[in-house]
């Protein structure tokens, strides 16, 4: 019996960088390692509409929008 592989969590912190979002999400979804998740923390203009239509339904991507700017 082999040991379970550890979950890898990737964190994307973004503020008003809409041009990079589709490419970054595509690169994440192209990864072959399992299990993994991407947590997007957005404190700028909401980028949720820029995510691929099925990105949030996979359970691998979690989107958090903050209404105020946060320090890193």
Tokens linked to 42: 């957005």
Fill in the DSSP letter of residue 56. G
* Residue pair 52/61 in contact by the 8 Å Cβ criterion: no
Q: Where are the beta strands (DSSP E) in the chain?
A: 8-14, 36-42, 61-65
| pLDDT tens digit sequence for 5-38 | 999 999 999 888 888 888 899 999 999 999 999 9
Question: What pTM, to 2 d.p., does this model score?
Answer: 0.83
Question: How far apart are alpha carbons 1 and 67 in whole angstroms?
Answer: 47
pLDDT grade, residue 56 (50/70/90)? confident
Under DSSP, is residue 1 helix (H, G, I), strand (E, B) or coil?
coil
């Amino acid at each position: 019996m082999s040991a379970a592989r550890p979950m890898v969590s990737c964190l994307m912190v973004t503020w008003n960088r809409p041009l990079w979002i589709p490419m970054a999400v595509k690169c994440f979804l192209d990864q072959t390692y399992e299990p993994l998740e991407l947590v997007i923390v957005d404190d700028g203009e909401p980028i949720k509409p820029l995510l691929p239509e099925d990105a949030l339904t996979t359970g691998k991507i979690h989107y958090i929008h903050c209404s105020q700017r946060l320090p890193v």
